[in-house]
Amino acid sequence: MHPIGLRGDPIFPRDLPRFGRSMLKKSLRTEILRRRKEYNKGKEDSALIAEKFLSLPEVKKAKSILLYFPHKNEVDTTFIIEELLKEGKDVVLPKVVGFHIYPIKISNLASLKSGYAGIKEPEGEKYPLENIDIIVVPAIAFDIHGHRLGYGKGYYDRLLSKVNALKIGLAYNFQVLEKLPSEPHDIPVDLIVTPTKIIKTSAEVTEKPKKEEVKRWLK
């Protein structure tokens, strides 16, 4: 498979020497962020994603879940956070400290303060990484194999290398591509929840979506 553009157009290997891997990632980031900024169904889609996420058996069984606070029209996680708090689960949010993410347990959303890049962050003591059952990983895009296109700072790459938690991505349909540029050391997510489907990326868990389905999402 080759990396594909947002309309399903293949980016063939002959293009890669000209753009380079980093340039390809930069181009994808720019285009998908533009689409996300202009997307006007985020509230509706976020509600559908929240419903699917909360229905997952893995989520129901989990005692501790690390989520992100939404920023710049990302999939809205606030309803999920509030529901998990009502259920008595340990809800953990990230705080950027230097080049690393510190997970901190919260009791409500009102206590959050503006932090790195203007994103709301918690205050408090670092939550033990080994106690986290699920990490909801933010990304600009995912592919159907679980690879993610992040924001380029490496915060979550460093975090994921230290934990053994189930990794879940939340995405609008246009954020799921067939193939993204990836490196051998990249750590993929195990599940991707979209408004229309739950994609289990591990071969041992379930089958991947068919190629024609992915192309339809990208239209």
- State the pLDDT at residue 184: 77
Neighbours of 129 (CB within 10 A): 17
pLDDT in tens, 64-73: 999 999 999 9
Neighbours of 174 (CB within 10 A): 18
The domain spans of the chain are 13-218
Query: Average per-residue pLDDT in the chain?
Result: 86
pLDDT in tens, 154-196: 899 999 999 999 999 999 999 999 888 887 778 999 999 999 9
- State the pLDDT at residue 160: 93
What is the token pair recorded at 62? 């989990």
pLDDT in tens, 133-145: 999 999 999 999 9
Long-range CB pairs of 6-11 (<8 Å, 24+ gap) are 6/31, 6/32, 6/35, 6/174, 6/177, 6/218, 7/218, 7/219, 8/178, 8/214, 8/215, 8/218, 8/219
Does residue 210 register a pLDDT over 70? no
What is the assigned CATH class of domain 13-218?
A: alpha beta
Percent of the chain with pLDDT over 90: 71
Residue by residue, what is the 3-state secondary structure of 41-70?
CHHHHHHHHHHHHHHCHHHHHCCEEECCCC
